[in-house]
Structure formats: C-alpha cells, structure tokens
Structure 1
Amino acid sequence: MNDTVTLEFDINDFVEEFTHCFTGECRVNVLPVLHRIGFVSTQSADLSALLAIILEVMQQPLRMQRGMLMLYDRHSDTIFIHESFGLTDEEKGRGIYAPGEGITGKVVESGKAIVVARLHENSDFLDRTQAHADRGRANASFICVPIVRAQKVLGTICAERVYMSRRLLEQDVKLLATIAAMIAPVVDLYLIENIDKVRLENENRRLKSALKRRFKPSNIIGNSKPMQQVYEHIRKVAGARATVLILGESGVGKELVASAIHYNSPYAEGPFVKSNCAAFPDNLIESELFGHERGSFTGAVATHKGCFEQADGGTIFLDEVGELSLANQAKLLRVLQERTFKRIGGVKPIKVDLRIITATNRNLAAMVEEGTFREDLYYRLNVFCITIPPLRERGSDVITLADHFVTRYAAENGKSVKRISTPALNMLMSYHWPGNVRELENVIESAVILSEDGVIHSYDLPPSLQTSHESGTVNGFSLEDKLRAVEYEMIAEALKNNGGRVGEAAEELGLTRRMLGIRMQKHHISYKPFRSTSPLD
C-alpha cells in the first residue's frame, strides 16, 4: 500500500462494491444514510442537521476513530475545523491550516482527495491539533476528501481509522467523496450566509483554547516543594469566588498565577482585565479603574469605561495595589463592599459582577501599622492569600526554567542551542537572582544569542554571574578573563564526560595528567564531584 495516494472519483461508480463485505463490515448498510443526507440537503439545506448524520455514520458504521468537517475561509485564506468527533475543544481550536499546508491544505489546494496509508510515516502530516502527541495510532490511515462546488473548494471531510483491508479503505474513500459531493451546495450556502460569523466564532474558540492551555496551573514551570504548595492553593481557590491577594517579590510571576486562577474559575468565560496601579499617576488612576464621562475634566473628549466596567462578568487583576493612595484605597474599598461605583463625572451607579485579584511586592501588614494602607481594605483584600516564593528558594526549578527558556529563545532566534554546560549550570544555581524569574529569562535569552556551538557556556553568561561575589558586577571581560573562563569550562566538561577520571580527561584535552593537575589546582577544581555524574550530558 503506497504511503500517499491522490484520487479522483466518478461518484456513480461504486454502488456495486457496497454489496461486498470485508472484515465483517458491509457498506451496503450505509445506503439508507445516503438517502437521508440527500433528503435533508434538498429539503432544508440545514448544515447542522447534515453534519449530525455524517458524524454519526462516520463514528458507528464506518468505525472511524476521528472525523472532521473543515471549512475554507477564502477571505482570511485559512482552513479550520467546523465540526468533529474524537478531538477535545483545545485540539479542535488548534486545527487551523493554510492552503498547501499539511495534508488538509494540499487537498484544498489541489481539489483532489488524499489517502495516507500510515499516517505517522507521512512527511505532510503536521499534527497541528496535537491529538497524536502520544503516537498511539501509528498504524492508522487518514482520508481527506474535498468539498467542491462549481470548481471551488469549500472545505474537506477528513477521517482516521486503522484498516486491515485495502478494499475497505478504498470503499470508504469513495463513500466520503460521495457525501462531500452531496453536501457541497449546503456548505456553499452556509459559507455565503455565515462566513463572518464562522470566522469570528472560530477565532474566539482558538483564542480561548490557547489561553486555557497557557494559563492552567500545570503549565506554570517548576516542581519544587514551595511551588507545589502554590499549585495546591491555586487549585483550591480557582473554583471559588473569593477575592485573592498574591504576594511576592518583583519578577516571581504574580500575573501568571492570577491568570491561572481566572482561566480555571467560574469566571473563565468572561474577560481578564489587568491594571498596574503603579503605572498611573494618582490623578489618573481613578479614571483608569472606574472610567469617566465625556467632559468630566479637561481632555475627557469621550466617555471611557474603566477596568472594573471592562471586567464585568470576568476577573480584574490589580497589580502593585500597595501603590494606591489613601484616597483611591477608599474608592477601591467601596467597590469591594458594594460591587458598585460611579464614573468620574457620572451620577448613575454601575453594578458589576466580577472577581478581584490583587498583587503586591510590598508588606501590606507593615504599611497598615505605618498608616499608609487602610486596615479595612487590607482585610477585604486578604480573604485568600497566596505567597509566591522567590527563585532563590526554589532549588532545581532554576534549571527547569532555564531549560524552558533555552528551548523558547532558541526557536525564536533560529538557533540550535541544545543544552547548558555544567559550569554554567553551577553558576545559575549559585546566583541569588534578585530579579527572580524575569531576570533568569533575560539572562538565558542573552546567552542563547551569544552561544556559537549549540551549548550555553559559563562565558556566555553576564558579568554579574561571572564574579565570585553574588551581587558584584564588572563592565566587561578582559582577554585574560575570557581565556580563564574558557579553560575552566573545558576542564570541567572533560572531567564530566569521563566520570572524574583525570587521566582520561587529560587525554581528551591533549594534556599530560600532570599538566591537567596543575591547571585543576589553579582553578580549584576537584575530580571528586564528577565521579557521580554520568559520562554524557
């Protein structure tokens, strides 16, 4: 059986074949279904009713494992999944192609059916939906037939299953091609009447799916014990409607935690509106949060909806809430108590239904003692508190995060950076990370750009990590500094590659054992830590 076959059909030449049965499956049984499809398409032109019949017959008599009807939006030049079975909503949202892209794109581009005998052996198979990440159906075949009317491709019908008989596969290809031809007029009418609606619904579905994947707690990087406690708090509070206060140093990822809470909460279908209270001067923050009416002050040329109004039905995230003045704290307290507010210059109270999440790197309890933060507001905000640990307290999460950022920025910069060397890892682990995850991300992005051999070395890291004092910095490297760093790096790598065996490491470096010993002594390197490491990184 060929890997890929492109086929054209006369839709009237296959009825005779349906009288034969293969592997206990008789395609003659689907002839009444074809009659139903023809009846619905001529009587009501209801695409939803047709798809219900088609997907049912694909799942039951045809025993397909997955099935998709995809539509082609000529305006945006995209092909997307309109209806399917065997896919989750997230997988469905990812199934977007351009003409010529992947198997589906090639069917739309050529207007001809494509049959792939073994899906995972085909180079055109992109797995854009990520439904095959586990490679669980390596022997499955894939059928994709075009929906064509007046020589215009409107979309495709695609299906997947394991076949033991080539003849049964050919029968199903012809059957799906017949169904596609029968429903083409209805699909054409549907696209004409609903294309804008279809495009907007598909984009909305795709964005929501992407956001849920991005912000679910399991996708926050790190497995250290302190972060496990954070995950548990997110899990417990996400399903509730309580106000949440997130505490932590700058750069630890407070916004990411707030997003994870929102997208796993009862408000997930609503908007997620973010506002940084430190980003606006005191005289503008009220307008930012609560909005203003036209003409309420100089420059108010139009009515403006504030963040609270924009977040109605969803979640508002107020970052750096400790920076609010006492006057604005009083206004925030009123919203927390009553869930109502007025725009600046407005007279009509506006009621909102939303969840409030706040965050700060300040010590609010101490500010209450000092009189710079309202005590009543503090207790209103501190219903459920999550404290995010600084990176220096997260142990091996530093390495996990570093590897994650290496993968991301290598892809973004088109570089083949595969790993971080042992000396560089030691430097990352020994640094105190005052800027937390944000600083680590910037360090790795810079190192990826500097790397020249697919490995991030210690000398690719910034000067603040190169010095023996954690917080010390220098303006740059001298030639001697660079040579010393390279020599240290090469010795450490050779010892690691050879399990701490000095003689073999010396041979790899082209040195005598005595010469290597002298240089190890100069760099204060002992062979003992490398005895427990594996020969290969």
Structure 2
Amino acid sequence: MARILLIDDGEDFRLLFENMINRLGLKCVCAPTLNEGMAELQQLPYDIVFLDVDLGTHNGLHHLPEIQSTPGNPDVIVVSASRDSQHAESAIQMGAWDYLVKPFRFVDFEQCLTRCVKHRDARNRFISESTFHRGPIIGSSPKLLRAIQWVGIVARTKNNVLLLGETGTGKELFARAVHDNSDRRKKPFTVVDCTNLPNTLAQSILFGHEKGTFTDAKESREGLFKQADGGTIFLDEIADLAAPTQRSLLRVLQEHSFRPLSSKQEVSSDFRLVAATNRDLSRMVQEGTFRKDLYFRLKSCLINLPPLRERPEDVEPLAHHYIKKICEEQGAPCKRLSQDCLEALKQYNWPGNVRELINTMNYAISNSYDAKTLTSYHLPREVRICMVKSTVEKANETPVHQQHQVTVMPKPETEIEILPTFKEVRNMVVTQMEAEYLIELIKQTDGDLKKACKVADLSRARLYELLQKHEIDYKQPARM
C-alpha cells in the first residue's frame, strides 16, 4: 500500500483530503507546516507527497527538489488554489507528477493518484528486475540514485539520451553506463569531444571522406559515426557544434545514414547517440545558437546530473575511493583521512564537482609527502579557507555571553585566590600550543625540516628558532 503524505496548512482541506483518501481505502499522514512535513519525510520513506503551493511564509514549489531528495524518493503532486498557469508550468518543469487546482473533483483526484501509484510501482518493478552495472559511479545520495535509476530505464530503450550537468559531474561515466547496460555493450563506445572538433574538419571526422577530398586526404577514411556502427557514440559538449554540423547531424539522427565527403553513395550506421553538455540548450534555442529541431530530437530521454554540492553525503565515499585509487597508481601505501580533513571536504562547495575533488585528493596526497594520514593542512588553500570561514561564522551565530557562560558565586574577600595576569596566562597557553604543534609537525614529517617548513609555512630560520626555544630534537622525532 502506498505511503501518502499531505503538506497543507488549511485545516478544512486536510479533513477533506483524509475523507477522499479513506474512500479509496488508503491512509495518509497530514502535516500542517512545511517543517513538520520535512521532519516526517526524514523519519519515514513516503511514496507520494501532495504539496500545497501557498504555505504561509513558504512557497511549496521552492522546496519541491528538497522533498524529492528525501529517503523515499517520493513522487510529488502539487495542489493549489491558484489558477496561474505559470505556477503549473513551474511545478511540472521542476519534476512534479501533476498539478491539481483546488477545489478538485473526487474523480479527478482518484484518477491522478491511481495513475501515479501504478506508474511508480511499474518503475520500481522495472528497476528491481534489471541488473544495473554502475561502474565507477560512486555515491548513494537520493539525487544521484534518481539519476542512476533513469540510466537503468533508458539504457534498455533505443532512444537518444541527453545528459545535462555542470562541468565535472561525470557525464562521460553516465554515458558509458548507458552503453554498458544496453544490448550494445559488446560493440564500440565512441567518444567525441565536440569542443576539439575544428569547424573545417568536423564533417570529415564525423562522417568520413573519400580519397582526394582535400589536399591531405591521401586515402579514404570512415567517420566516427560509422565506427560506432552497432554501438554507442557519445558527443560530449554537443552545444559547441557549429551550425552546419548541427544541420548535418539532424539528418543523420533521422535517417541513420549519411554521405561521406566526395562520396557518391550513402553509408548507413546502426548507432545509438548519447549527448552531453554543461550549457542551457533551451536558452541557446531561444537565442538562435542551437537548432530547435535538433534539441527536441536529442531530449527524448533527458537525465539531469546533480552537482556535488547537492549531494554532500557522497563526498566521503568519493574521497576514500580516489585516495585509494591515486595511492595505488603511485605505488604508495594507502593514506587515511583525518576527521578534520573530512569536515573540510564536506564544508567546501565544490564548484568543479567530482573532477575538482579528484584534483584535490591528488594535491593533498602530494602535499602530505610520506605522512600516513591526510589532515586539513594538506588540502588546497581554497578548501581550508572555506573551513575557517565556516568555523568563524558558526561562532558568530552564538552570542559571546552564551559561548562562555560563567556562574559567578560571590566569595568573601579573604577567600579570593591570587591569579596570574591575563598576559601571563596567554603566554603560557601559546607556549604550550606551539610546543604541541611542533612535536606533531616533526612526527608527521619524520624530522625532514624542508617538508616541515612547507607544511607549517615557516622559513627555515624561524623553524630552527622555535625548535630551539622549545628544546625539541628534530633529529629524533620518535623519542618526543
């Protein structure tokens, strides 16, 4: 039985909704506020959420992606008294299953709910019955799993696939997953980087040419679309294709045949196209820089890949995976990840997505030299800055008088203890902190002062001075 949740601040509507649900022999939970609804979604996996648009100070549509990303990956049906068609368009555009205008008839409600339940059951059954090979796609966040589910669904069709996502979100990995989970998996997987296609040679590279077509054409060559015969061709960054090539590609997608340059005969190819871009193709269509007919042919199966900042729970498994991989490639022992390093990685926004995370792990491993554990000090400066700013901002959120609350108990004047001055206490604390830091620094670098200077960002002379001040023997770190 489907688990149903209604989020609506209208008491009368909640009672009406419960009555309609009861008439269908189902049960539901009603939440009068968005916060209560989100708390309910975090506690239990729901199948379907009915979401009101006007929730007091909240606009339900703004929270639709957040609701869809909760553990149950629920389908969302938007309900609203608004008859603004723009609201309905926005809801569907953001992934809502349907949009019902209040007040609605029971028959319309029943039809909408029944179809949603049947579609959800069919989708889940389809996914559970199929064996999906995700390859090196790492993570288990709801948004990533939703994208993976779509790959599993479209892979078994013959449709073209369009992958949309920011730079570094792993579009080629997903394209490969579409191929590997299709019946074309034993045939070629051909990758084309459209950003590196010269306009003058694009037609020749993609569709081939005959001998003598141009000066350097000393022999006939088949194009990449022919090489992908029986398999999959992946056009990465398809938005960068020049207008003439877009026109030629449209016909090839329609006919699955093309004429190599200077050839008198057409060549056929049984390929499956997967395209990807980090740009807004719909806006490019409006601006006239991308063909509208080509766009609609490409988007028959569209999959949005989430950026890493929207799936922070995947940062830790990704970091562990690539630390292990990089160390194996370098023939070095696998390094551990300290808690402060992990917290720094989670705090960062990752504008470069997974690709930036991989580069960060490479940098940290190189910067740690022979240390066995990666700490936040080994990370690039921009990641450390983000962590420090976050720490300071959290401290600022709590009033100073609450950060250091002291219960003052009055004492007789004769019992007042003589305390050292504030300056004396501060010097003692700083001295102790310096000594502890230097001891750990020498341990981590095994007494190599060159490495220690780089990690601590100190000159060699200043480091010598501090070591002598605290009487630390850097030549014998193991005895400290």
- What is the TM-score of this pair, normalised by structure 2? 0.53
Instruction: Note the C-alpha offset of 1:469.
Output: 8.3
Q: Which amino acid aligns with 2:307?
A: P
Alignment correspondent of 2:273: 356
Alignment correspondent of 2:172: 255
Q: Is residue 2:285 matched to residue 1:372? A: no
1:292–1:251 Cα change, 3 Å: same
Q: Is residue 2:183 matched to residue 1:301? A: no
Q: Is residue 2:361 matched to residue 1:454? A: no
SS for the counterpart of 2:196 is: coil
Instruction: Pick the aligned partner of 1:314 from 223, 228, 231.
Output: 231
Moved more, 456-465 or 412-421: 412-421
Alignment correspondent of 1:27: none
Alignment correspondent of 1:399: 316
1:446–1:220 Cα change, 3 Å: same
Instruction: Note the C-alpha offset of 1:217.
Output: 1.5
Cα distance between partner residues in 1 of 2:334 and 2:272? 42
Alignment correspondent of 2:30: none
1:358–1:470 Cα change, 3 Å: farther
1:297–1:322 Cα change, 3 Å: same
Show structure 2 runs of 5+ residues with no match: 1-131, 390-424, 435-480
The 8 Å contact of residues 287 and 306 in structure 1, kept in 2 or not, is answered as yes
Alignment correspondent of 1:431: 348
The 8 Å contact of residues 257 and 267 in structure 2, kept in 1 or not, is answered as yes
SS for the counterpart of 1:434 is: coil
Instruction: Pick the aligned partner of 1:233 from 150, 157, 180.
Output: 150
Q: Which amino acid aligns with 1:467?
A: I
SS for the counterpart of 2:312 is: coil
Instruction: Note the C-alpha offset of 1:518.
Output: 9.9
Alignment correspondent of 2:383: 465
The 8 Å contact of residues 227 and 388 in structure 1, kept in 2 or not, is answered as yes
Instruction: Note the C-alpha offset of 1:218.
Output: 5.8
1:337–1:470 Cα change, 3 Å: farther
1:238–1:340 Cα change, 3 Å: same
Instruction: Note the C-alpha offset of 1:219.
Output: 4.2
Alignment correspondent of 2:330: 413
1:263–1:276 Cα change, 3 Å: same
Alignment correspondent of 1:290: 207
Instruction: Note the C-alpha offset of 1:450.
Output: 2.5
Cα distance between partner residues in 1 of 2:189 and 2:344? 38
Instruction: Note the C-alpha offset of 1:465.
Output: 1.3
SS for the counterpart of 2:275 is: strand
Show structure 1 runs of 5+ residues with no match: 1-214, 472-510, 521-537
CA offsets per residue over residues 78-102 of structure 1, 9 Å max, x none? xxxxxxxxxxxxxxxxxxxxxxxxx
Instruction: Note the C-alpha offset of 1:222.
Output: 0.6
SS for the counterpart of 2:273 is: strand
Cα distance between partner residues in 2 of 1:267 and 1:413? 34
Instruction: Pick the aligned partner of 2:240 from 323, 342, 354.
Output: 323
1:517–1:236 Cα change, 3 Å: farther
Cα distance between partner residues in 2 of 1:470 and 1:439? 20
CA offsets per residue over residues 214-255 of structure 1, 9 Å max, x none? x92164101111101011001111111110000001111000
Cα distance between partner residues in 2 of 1:395 and 1:296? 52
Cα distance between partner residues in 2 of 1:223 and 1:516? 44
Cα distance between partner residues in 2 of 1:449 and 1:412? 13
Instruction: Note the C-alpha offset of 1:407.
Output: 0.7
Instruction: Note the C-alpha offset of 1:331.
Output: 0.2
The 8 Å contact of residues 136 and 173 in structure 2, kept in 1 or not, is answered as no
The 8 Å contact of residues 135 and 177 in structure 2, kept in 1 or not, is answered as no
| Residues 176-215 of structure 1 aligned to structure 2 (within 5 Å) | none
Q: Which amino acid aligns with 2:285?
A: V
The 8 Å contact of residues 243 and 357 in structure 1, kept in 2 or not, is answered as yes
| Residues 111-122 of structure 1 aligned to structure 2 (within 5 Å) | none
Q: Which amino acid aligns with 1:333?
A: L
Q: Which amino acid aligns with 1:464?
A: E
1:372–1:453 Cα change, 3 Å: same
SS for the counterpart of 2:274 is: strand
Q: Which amino acid aligns with 1:302?
A: E
| Residues 470-509 of structure 1 aligned to structure 2 (within 5 Å) | none
Instruction: Pick the aligned partner of 1:223 from 129, 134, 140.
Output: 140
The 8 Å contact of residues 192 and 235 in structure 2, kept in 1 or not, is answered as yes
1:218–1:256 Cα change, 3 Å: closer
How many residue pairs end up in the alignment?
A: 267
The 8 Å contact of residues 316 and 354 in structure 1, kept in 2 or not, is answered as yes
The 8 Å contact of residues 347 and 387 in structure 2, kept in 1 or not, is answered as no
Alignment correspondent of 1:246: 163
Cα distance between partner residues in 2 of 1:285 and 1:370? 23
Q: Which amino acid aligns with 2:228?
A: A
Instruction: Note the C-alpha offset of 1:423.
Output: 1.5
Identity %: 43
Instruction: Pick the aligned partner of 1:342 from 249, 259, 262.
Output: 259
Alignment correspondent of 2:405: none
Q: Which amino acid aligns with 2:216?
A: G
1:517–1:428 Cα change, 3 Å: farther
The 8 Å contact of residues 246 and 358 in structure 1, kept in 2 or not, is answered as yes
- What is the TM-score of this pair, normalised by structure 1? 0.47
The 8 Å contact of residues 277 and 320 in structure 1, kept in 2 or not, is answered as yes
Q: Is residue 2:187 matched to residue 1:270? A: yes
Instruction: Note the C-alpha offset of 1:373.
Output: 0.5
Instruction: Note the C-alpha offset of 1:409.
Output: 1.1
Instruction: Note the C-alpha offset of 1:299.
Output: 1.1
